Amino acid sequence: MSGGVLWGGDVTVATISLALVACAMAALLLWNIERRRSRRFVAAAAEALGDARPPRTLDALLPRIAELGDLRGRAAQVHALTGLPTREPLIARMREGGGGTLAIFAFHDVNRLSAFDPDLGDEVLRLLAHRLVAMVWRQRLVAQVDRSHVALWVEGPEDAARGELDALLYAMGDALSAGGREIVPEIGLRRAYLPAGEPAPELALTRTLAAFSAPGLPADAAPIDLQAIARERYRLEQDLRHAVQRGELTLDYQPLIESGTGSVTGAEALIRWHHPARGLVSPGQFVPIMEASGLAPEIGTWALNTAVRQAAIWRRDGRGRLRIAVNVSGRQLDAHDLDRLVARTLARHGVGPDVLEIELTESVALGDDAGGRSTFDALRAMGVRIAIDDFGTGYSSFSTLRTLAFDKIKIDREFVSGVEASRERQAICQSILALGRGLGIRVLAEGVERAEEVAWLHRHGCRHFQGYYFAAPLDAASFARFVRDRSGLAARLGDAIDGVRVEERLWA
pLDDT given for residue 5 in this prediction: 33
Q: What is the DSSP letter of 338?
A: H
Domain co-membership, 414 together with 272: yes
The three-state secondary structure class of 178 is strand
Structural domain range at position 211: 87-224
Min mean pLDDT across 77-91, 356-370, 423-437, 440-454 is at: 356-370
Compute φ and ψ for 319, nearest 5 degrees. -85, 5
The mean of the pLDDT values for the chain is 78
pLDDT given for residue 10 in this prediction: 43
Given a contact cutoff of 8 angstroms between Cβ atoms, the answer to whether 282 and 159 are in contact is: no
For residue 30, the one-letter residue type is L
pLDDT band at 94 (very low <50, low <70, confident <90, very high): confident
Give the whole-angstrom CA distance, residue 419 versus residue 454: 9
Task: Give the whole-number percent of the chain exceeding pLDDT 90.
Answer: 34
Domain co-membership, 172 together with 276: no
pLDDT given for residue 336 in this prediction: 72
- Asked whether residue 36 is domain-assigned, the answer is no
Taking only the tens place, the pLDDT of each residue in 328-383 is 887 787 777 899 999 999 999 999 999 999 998 766 666 555 566 788 888 989 99
For residue 172, the one-letter residue type is M
Domain co-membership, 314 together with 432: yes
pLDDT given for residue 227 in this prediction: 60
CATH code of residue 315: 3.20.20.450
Domain co-membership, 250 together with 159: no
Domain co-membership, 151 together with 218: yes
pLDDT band at 39 (very low <50, low <70, confident <90, very high): low
- Asked whether residue 39 is domain-assigned, the answer is no
Domain co-membership, 359 together with 392: yes
Taking only the tens place, the pLDDT of each residue in 99-127 is 889 999 999 888 878 877 888 889 999 99
pLDDT given for residue 367 in this prediction: 58
Taking only the tens place, the pLDDT of each residue in 119-156 is 888 999 999 999 998 888 767 889 999 889 999 998 88
Taking only the tens place, the pLDDT of each residue in 376-422 is 888 989 999 999 887 765 544 455 566 667 889 899 888 898 999 98
pLDDT given for residue 222 in this prediction: 43
Number of structural domains in the chain: 2
pLDDT given for residue 263 in this prediction: 92
Taking only the tens place, the pLDDT of each residue in 158-217 is 887 888 888 898 889 888 888 888 888 888 888 888 888 777 788 888 878 877 754 444
- Asked whether residue 376 is domain-assigned, the answer is yes
Q: What is the DSSP letter of 504?
A: S
Residue at which a domain ends, from 189, 224, 259: 224
Domain co-membership, 288 together with 430: yes
CA 92 centroid distance within chain: 17
Confidence check: pLDDT of 304 > 60:
yes
**Long-range CB contacts (< 8 A, 24+ apart) of 492-501?**
493/257, 493/259, 493/262, 493/454, 495/451, 496/451, 496/452, 496/454, 496/455, 496/458, 496/469, 497/259, 497/454, 497/455, 497/458, 500/259, 500/262, 501/260, 501/261, 501/262
Confidence check: pLDDT of 503 > 70:
no
Taking only the tens place, the pLDDT of each residue in 447-502 is 999 999 999 999 999 999 999 999 999 999 999 999 999 899 999 999 888 644 44
Domain co-membership, 105 together with 251: no
CATH code of residue 195: 3.30.70.270
- Asked whether residue 508 is domain-assigned, the answer is no
The three-state secondary structure class of 42 is helix
Domain co-membership, 295 together with 394: yes
Confidence check: pLDDT of 299 > 90:
yes
Confidence check: pLDDT of 72 > 50:
no
pLDDT given for residue 443 in this prediction: 94
Give the pLDDT mean for 302-307.
96
- Asked whether residue 188 is domain-assigned, the answer is yes
Confidence check: pLDDT of 3 > 60:
no
- Asked whether residue 82 is domain-assigned, the answer is no
pLDDT given for residue 366 in this prediction: 60
Residue at which a domain ends, from 224, 255, 270: 224
DSSP bridge pairs for 445: 411, 465
CA 278 centroid distance within chain: 31
Give the whole-angstrom CA distance, residue 284 versus residue 98: 19
Domain co-membership, 171 together with 285: no
pLDDT given for residue 97 in this prediction: 65
pLDDT band at 320 (very low <50, low <70, confident <90, very high): confident
Complete DSSP assignment for 252-291:
EEEEEEETTTTEEEEEEEEEEEEETTTEEEPHHHHHHHHH
Taking only the tens place, the pLDDT of each residue in 224-247 is 455 666 677 788 888 999 998 899
